[in-house]
Amino acid sequence: MSEQVTVTINGKEVKVSEGTLIIQAAKMAGIDIPHLCYCECLPSTGSCRVCLVEVEGAKGLVASCTRKVKNGMVINTNTEKVREARRFVLELILSNHSGDCMSCDKNGACELQKYAYELGIEKTSFSMKDPGYEIDKSNPFIERNYNLCILCGRCVGICKTQGADIIDFIKRGMITKVATPLDKPLQESGCDFCGSCLAVCPVGALLEVDRRFRGREWEMEETKTVCSYCGCGCDLVFGIVDGQIMRTTGESPGDFLCAKGRFGWDFVENPKRIIKPLIKKDGILTESTYEEAIKFAAERLLDIKKAHGANSIGGFIGAGNTNEVAYLFQKFLRAGIGTNNIDSSARLLGFPALIDLYEALGDGAVVSMEDIEEVDTLLLVNADVTVAYPRVGVAVKRALSSGAKLVVVDAGRTKISEKADIYIQSKAGSDEFILSGLLKELLDGKVYDEEFAKKCGKFEDLKKSLGKLKMEMVEKESGISKDVLKRAAKLYGEGKKTVIVFGAETVSPQTMELIANISLLTGKTRASVLPCLLSSNLRGTVYMGALAEFYPGVRKIDEARNDFEKTWGVKLPKKAGLSIKEMLDGMGSSILGMYIVGADPVTQFPNSSSVAKSLSSLDFLVAQDTFLTETAKLADVVLPGITLAESNGTIVNMEYRTKEVRAVIEPLAETDWKTVTALSKRMNYTMGYSSEKEIAKEIKSLVFVPKKIERDTYSFILVEPKVSGEEPDKKYPYTLIVGETTFGFYDGIRTKNSKLSRLEPNAGDYVIFNSEDATSLKIEDGCEVTVKSRRGKVTTSAKILDFLPKGMFFMPSCHDKRGILASDSIDSKLKSPQHRLIAVSISKGGANK
Amino acid sequence: MVKGKQTRVFICTGTGCVLSGSMKVKAAFKSELKKRKISEIDIVQTGCHGFCQQGPIVVIQPEGFFYPRVSVENVPRIVEEHLVGGKVVEDLLYEDSLTNKKIPLYKDINFYKKQNRIVLKNCGLIDPEDIDDYIEHGGYKAFKKVLSEMTPEKVIEEVKASGLRGRGGAGFPTGLKWDFARKAPGDIKYIICNADEGDPGAFMDRSVLEGDPHSILEGMVIAGYAIGASEGYIYVRAEYPLAVKRLGIAVEQAKKKGFLGKNILDSSFNFNVKIKEGAGAFVCGEETALIASIEGRRGMPRIRPPFPAQSGLWGKPTNINNVETLANVAWIIVNGVDKFTSIGTEKSKGTKIFAVTGKVKNGGLVEVPMGTTLREVIFDICGGVKDDKEFKAVQIGGPSGGCLPAKFLDTSIDYESLAKTGAIVGSGGMVVMDKSSCMVDLARYFLAFTQKESCGKCAPCRIGTKRMLEMLQRMTRGESSEEEVVLLEQLAEDVKVSSLCGLGQTASNPVLTMLKYFRKEFEEHVKEGRCRAGVCSELITYVIKDNVCKGCGVCKKHCPVGAIRGEKKQPHEIDVTKCVKCGICMQHCSFDAIYVAK
């Protein structure tokens, strides 16, 4: 800790650390120094000249946002001289600020207005000039009114530190303005639309387009909840006016939100939402009453249970529901219906990696975003952090700006790879070779923690097996030279505080094991990983036991049955449950009834044509969702679901933080937990909860609290590297990678029903070609192409972008037909399909050709 | 008789002379000599002589015969009569403006006689594109001495003792600056030469860059050795293409000769120089903006501290010196501290170059010892006010400087004395004015420049200079008030104290000094709607004197807007509703029949 110094501010003595800025020291003393360009989350620029103060002995007035305190400094923040200088600067700024406070959305929240009032400026002494700019409305989300802009530079600063770094000042003198390169619209300049600029603007120059004239700050009722998109689980503060969502922000101006968090919430209010139950009559889904639908669904499921036994029914739940709903869901199936046939989309989204990680390292190795900001060396494996898990992306950027080193392993030339010290653009599916090669180079280069590695099990075996590894084979399979791996190993191995960040849904179980090995080899004190999760409550869904293999608390079925029988007061099924793939395979024969909540397996699960076929062969399907998904269309009964923004409860994010979810608006339909309990009650199992709080209480008191479990013994895992994903052959010579995009999200159901679709108008309906393949296949940008796999074919359009190496193609995961192509073959251990790497053939033109 | 091998024709190829046709003169000499099959006489292109008003300048060496304003037509005569005939061409020689006597030799010209050329010593006398010529004139001697005999500390000590101060404007002691950079912790350090000369009317750096580039390189390597840097940047305006070209040649030649590169002259000292072209922003002359620009960022100043000596280019300790400062260094090392400190005043040592322009007889570059008076520069060296009109004022230090009336003519030119008057030494621009200059209009002119060149970062400079400019524009139109004059003064003071960088902090200087010394003129504009200089077009009318006009019709013919009517041989008349006050009629009248009514 730095030394404490004493300074006198307005006659008051204050003790602060050396190096504190005067403005911060004053704040600690309870003195607010007016400021416009300064923002706590940004480096100071000292440009607005409003925060000027008098420092005894200093020449002239001093900008308090840039001058650091010194021991014995005597500072006066509110003398007449200071006020006069501030008044002068504010008058100048006002003379060029032609807005009318009467109709400004920032009225009451505008910092310029606030200080002008405080300093008693009625009007500027200078002639008022309207800069006469046109308001920039060229993009769908952010409106920039140059006439109100005071050129404080906060937007420029925050775009550099956590945005896409695309805006800066252009021109000089009075015609200086903030713009993108060549003053192009944001969407043509690589803007990620994180909207960080909106949050820091002190005046009305930057506003959410949809917010204009719909409510001023003081009219907003604000509720804090959690974002429903990826597993970062960022805090969102919803601003509500008259029961309608006006905007979202973070808790403080510098809190990062991504485009989805900031602009992607309005699917909640989309008129296409299902708010009334539907019952299929003569093949047509027809509106019914809630009572009727519950009664009908319960009766049909009871019929099936009676005729074919409890194990002829299965359940599937999305990984984006609250802990409370996930807990109820599995309890209903296990204790109510009497089956362990429970699965969730967690199985498709990285659950296997989490289980493996848990076994190899224990959860204690999982770090937080704040931890990431502190490391000096990062290894990113298949983690397109700025796109798929944007808050992690910001943590990585912050680490880099403090001088951290970065190694990126990714087939795709991601935005973060541009900032890498070493970028390893390996062939898709060759991760196991790359990581094995890195392990070998860490060992051979002696850049590892020998003392700790020796204490881990199988260290000698690991050395032996790596001794046999041929680097030539690694080079051949990955396309990366061993020199690059040597350099990467040296860079990573020499780091003092390191972390491995990877996309949990993108890595194979063996890759996960290799990551654990690297982590152990480089030392326990440095063993830290962050598995990035795509789903908002993947951890919670797993911990709540919404999986065939585990009861709540990740307790194995056969080991914990007695405990849960006691807890729930019922006999529980002994038979092991089926995973979703096994259920799909058994549909029409052993599985006859399904209850699916908040998930769309037809779109999400690979080989979707066969999924649809399987679901159609069921005797009875109940789907509970917010939109009429492809799965819901096949259902006999559709029950309305609600979004996270209408729910109360908790989720667990990728960092193991349990976060509180609060309903920000009145739910548009019956809440999910009530629907599950209603269905359960109708099926003669009364759970008797009166609120989400009671469910939470039961989880907390009877079951467990999600927490990291530290481990004291470790062991290396011997891995024989293999190519992961589907093997290309002569007929299907290329590899298609399915991944995330900035404005689309997973199955696309939310993004395409939100205003984000304005930026991704054709809902990810394209395939990315690199220019080399485009030339050899004679494909032009935008032309129609057919992608064919062993399961089916999809016609889409081509987009030419040098993102992947030759022979590899990219399809957005929000493409609604990508499931047709993917393989649903599963590994034996964790029954999860590796559906993100698909062997395909590609031809020009439509599917009929 | 053809003169011997030692005869050389020096043709100035500085920008001023090039513009007045020296390249054509050079070609004419070449072809003339070829025609006469004379191969013994070398033609040497040199840098600027500083006497730009007299360009193109041709000097015949070794005697130093000086031919001003040489045209292509004059060349055969110079060759025939002087080079071949051995007889000076009398009528082409320079004529002294005071005595009207012909002066054959360079050294006897008043303009040069009273100067003391340290920085400009080689300009016009050597071929700037030939390192050997520089070496022959004592070049790189200082560097060799430094490298073989002196420790870095000793070099800094010498520079400190010499009292050399920054010639870019602020006058900070150079040795102290070097000492800060040397003592700043860090392995990697940089030297930057600030060659972003941007003051309107100032061209001394340009002349040194074009005329003696090696003197700057030598200063840089010595500075690099002293502070412990192994890399240097020259940040030079792209608008100086000849300077960029010659610097490039100089760097290449210095590398070949082993004055730049690794293990220079078999020592362990490494030093390289990169040339970075600026993109034309005045503010990039400010050191932190300059650094940002080299780093590829927008050229905007940042708050100091940290000073570049602690955290400069790429965050490393960096020493920035102006061209003229660096060009002094080698001279000090070779000639010694005592010789340098014998020149100048107690606190301002050595010489300073001024670019004298405006209403002066012999404008150009003048290098004088610090302590010389304004009168000596303007009257003794530059020959006084053009057309022997009355001296009105001198603007010193460009758009950041001040404007001084006649009562300050005996002020000594040094940092302290000038600062007392409200002006500054600045980069050394000096604009001389007679009665035909309007002070309000001049204040408007300088402010229009700084306003346009404000980087836009801080509010006082960005908006304050604009509001000042608007006030001055209203004053020149007679639309202002006495209250506004008071507000202008207050605004100028406020901008001065609250701006972020030097540009804003000094932008008010011209306005403030003009208000201080010429307030009456401002009052005349706003109270009486009168411009005594007859410059502010909205406050004047052009009138034809009935009794003088001969009705020749020349004015009518030249009027671009058809505002003049009148019959042939009858007095003409100007239609004030049509007149745009361009003054063309007055310029063309042979009878002085047109005057400006103020």
- pLDDT score recorded for residue B70: 95
The verdict on A573 and A462 lying in the same domain is: no
| Cβ–Cβ < 8 Å for B478, B367 | no
DSSP percent split of chain B into helix, strand, coil, nearest 5? 45, 15, 40
| CA-based end-to-end distance of chain B | 63
Instruction: Render B431-442 in DSSP notation, one character per residue.
Output: EEEETT--HHHH
Shortest Cα–Cα distance, A45 to chain B (Å): 7
| Same domain (yes/no): A799, A746 | yes
CB pairs under 8 A between A and B: 94
Enumerate the H helices of B184-322 as residue ranges: 204-211, 213-227, 241-256, 287-294
Report pLDDT for A355.
82
What pLDDT sits at residue A707?
60
Q: Which residues pair with B102 in a beta bridge?
A: B95
The CB density around residue B167, as the number of other CB atoms within 10 Å, is: 27
| Nearest-by-Cβ selection for B463 from A52, A61, A92 | A92
User: Do A337 and A386 belong to one domain?
Assistant: no
**Do A536 and A233 meet the contact criterion of CB atoms below 8 Å apart?**
yes
Closest chain A residue to B284 measured between Cα atoms?
Answer: A172
- A263 inside domain: no
Residue among A61, A66, A125 minimizing CB distance to B487: A125
Q: What is the CATH number of the domain that holds A823?
A: 2.40.40.20
Q: For residue B494, list chain A residues with Cβ-Cβ distance below 8 A.
A: 85, 88
The reply to whether residue A89 touches residue B499, judged by beta carbons under 8 angstroms, is: no
pLDDT of residue B5: 52
Q: Looking at the complex, does the CB of residue A132 fall below 8 Å from at least one CB of chain B? A: no
A814 part of a folded domain: yes
Chain A contact set for B303 (CB, 8 A): 44-46, 63, 66
Q: Report phi then psi at A639, rounded to 5.
A: -105, 135
Give yes or no: residues A496 and A570 share one domain. Answer: no
Beta strands A529-532 and A221-226 are unpaired
Assign a CATH topology to domain B8-113.
Glutaredoxin (3.40.30)
Asked which of A532, A549, A570 is the last residue of a domain, the reply is A532
Assess contact for A510 and A829: CB atoms under 8 A: no
* CATH code reported for the domain at B131-339: 3.40.50.11540
Which of A503, A532, A561 is the last residue in one of the domains? A532
Picking from A49, A92, A169, the nearest residue to B500 by CB comes out as A49
**pLDDT beneath 50: ranges in chain A:** 849
Q: Quote the minimal CA–CA distance from B119 to chain A in Å.
A: 34
- Largest CA-CA distance found in chain A, in angstroms, rounded: 93
Within a domain: A359: no
Which one-letter DSSP state was computed for residue B399? G
How far out from the chain centre does Cα B465 lie? 24
Contact residues for B70 (Cβ-Cβ < 8 A; gap 6+): B22, B25, B56, B57, B58, B78, B92
- The CATH-assigned architecture of domain B540-597 is 2-Layer Sandwich (3.30)
Record: contact A150-B459, CB cut-off 8 A? yes
Q: What is the pTM of this model?
A: 0.89
SS3 state at A470: coil
Please identify, among A532, A556, A571, the residue that sits at the C-terminal boundary of a domain. Answer: A532
Of A338, A321, A359, which Cα lies nearest the Cα of A546? A321
Which chain B residue is nearest to residue A124, measuring alpha carbons?
A: B467
| Distance of alpha carbon B509 from alpha carbon B515, whole angstroms | 10
Task: Residue A486: give its domain's CATH number.
Answer: 3.40.228.10
**Is A411 in the same domain as A497?**
yes
Shared domain check, A525 and A573: no
**A92 and chain B: CB distance < 8 Å anywhere?**
yes
**d(C-alpha A48, C-alpha A62), whole Å:** 12
Residue A519 within any structural domain of the chain: yes
The percentage of residues in chain B with a pLDDT greater than 90, rounded to a whole number, is: 82
Cis peptide leading into residue B56 (ω within 30°) = yes
For residue A169, give the nearest of B298, B491, B499 by CB distance.
B298
Interchain contact, A173 vs B300, CB within 8 Å? no
- State whether ipTM is beyond 0.90: no
pLDDT recorded at residue A845: 86
Distance from B472 to chain A by nearest Cα, in Å? Answer: 13
Cα A225 from Cα A204, distance rounded (Å): 26
Instruction: Spell out which chain B residues touch chain A, with contact meaning CB-CB distance below 8 angstroms.
Output: 281, 283, 298, 300, 302-303, 451-460, 462-467, 470, 487, 491, 494, 497-500
Please give the C-alpha separations between residue A789 and each of A47, A831, A837, in angstroms, as whole numbers.
Answer: 58, 22, 11
Would you say B361 and B97 are in contact if contact means Cβ atoms under 8 Å apart? yes
Are the Cβ atoms of A92 and B467 closer than 8 angstroms? yes
A548 CB within 8 Å of a chain B CB = no
Please, are residues A216 and A107 in contact by the beta-carbon 8 Å criterion? yes
Which residue in the block uniquely carries the two structure tokens 């993917």?
Answer: A822
- A490 & A549 share domain: no
DSSP B533: T
**What residue numbers bound the domain in which A790 lies?**
734-844
Tens of pLDDT, residue by residue over B155-194, are 999 999 999 999 987 889 999 999 999 999 999 999 999 9
* Residue B1: per-residue pLDDT: 35
Residues A342 and A384 grouped into a single domain: no
Mutate to test the interface with B, among A54, A93, A126, A175 (most CBs of B within 10 A): A126
Residue B76 · residue B31 · CB < 8 Å: no
A398 and A516 share one domain: yes
Structure tokens at B478: 């007679």
Q: B447 with B468: CB under 8 angstroms?
A: yes
Q: Which of A63, A153, A173 is closest, CB to CB, to B453?
A: A173
Which residue's entry shows tokens 């964790």?
A: A830
For residue B469, what is the nearest residue in chain A, using CA coordinates? Answer: A174
Look at strands A52-55 and A62-63 and give their pairing.
Answer: antiparallel
Contact A45 B281 (CB under 8 A): no
Q: Tell me, what amino acid is at A102?
A: M
Q: What is the CATH number of the domain that holds A599?
A: 3.40.50.740
What's the structural domain count of chain A? 4
Provide the CATH topology of domain B351-434. Ubiquitin-like (UB roll) (3.10.20)
A 708-727 residues with CB < 8 A to B:
none
Contacts of B191 (CB under 8 A, 6+ apart): B220, B223, B224, B227, B229, B231, B232, B233, B318, B319, B320, B321
Contacts of B302 in chain A (CB under 8 A): 45-46
Do the domains B540-597 and B8-113 match in fold? no
What is the distance between the alpha carbons of residues A154 and A35, in angstroms, rounded to a whole number?
Answer: 12
CATH number belonging to domain B439-528: 1.20.1440.230
Residue A47: helix, strand or coil by DSSP? Answer: coil
Sign of CA dihedral B448, B449, B452, B453: negative
Asked if residue A266 lies in contact with residue A245, where contact means CB atoms within 8 angstroms, the answer is yes
Contact assessment for residue A25 and residue A56, using Cβ atoms and an 8 Å cutoff: no
Rounded to the nearest 10 degrees, how much is the dihedral formed by the CA atoms of A343, A345, A349, A350? -20
Using an 8 Å CB-CB cutoff, list chain A residues near B501: none
A384 and A456 co-located in one domain: yes
In sequence order, the β-bridge partners of residue B207 are: none
The chain A residue lying nearest B280, using CA atoms, is A172
Best residue in A21, A65, A88, A402 to probe B by mutation, most B CBs within 10 Å? A88
Does residue A499 belong to the interface with chain B, where contact is any CB pair within 8 Å? no
pLDDT at residue number B162 = 97
Is residue A661 less than 8 Å (CB to CB) from chain B?
Answer: no
Closest-CA residue of chain B to A94: B463
Looking at the complex, does the CB of residue A94 fall below 8 Å from at least one CB of chain B? no
The C-alpha of B466 sits at a distance from chain A's nearest C-alpha, in angstroms, of 7
In a domain, residue A167? The reply is no
Distance from the A139 Cα atom to the nearest Cα atom in chain B, whole angstroms = 25
Query: Residue ranges of the domains in chain B?
Result: 8-113, 131-339, 351-434, 439-528, 540-597
Facing B498 at nearest CB: one of A88, A171, A176: A88
Of B452, B464, B487, the CB nearest to A92: B464
Cα atoms in the 13 Å half-sphere on the side-chain side of A466:
25
Q: Is A55 on the interface with B (CB under 8 A)?
A: no
Contact yes or no for B460/B425 (Cβ under 8 A)? no
Q: Is A578 on the interface with B (CB under 8 A)?
A: no
Q: Do B453 and A126 touch (CB under 8 A)?
A: no
Residues A408 and A523 in one domain: yes
Chain A contact set for B465 (CB, 8 A): 173
Task: Dump pLDDT digits (tens) for B130-150.
Answer: 999 999 999 999 999 999 999
Put simply, the answer to whether B302 touches A46 (Cβ < 8 Å) is yes
Per-residue pLDDT averaged across B20-24, rounded?
94
Backbone angles phi, psi at B551, to 5 degrees: 70, 35
Pair A318, A343: CB distance under 8 Å: no
pLDDT of the residue at B3 = 43
Could you tell me if A435 and A560 lie in one domain?
A: no
Quote the CA–CA distance of A254 and A252 in Å, as a whole number. Answer: 6
Q: Is residue A125 part of a domain?
A: no
Cα B275 to Cα B127: distance, rounded to the nearest angstrom: 21
pLDDT in tens, A355-380: 888 888 887 889 999 999 999 999 99
| Chain B interface includes A52 (CB < 8 A) | yes
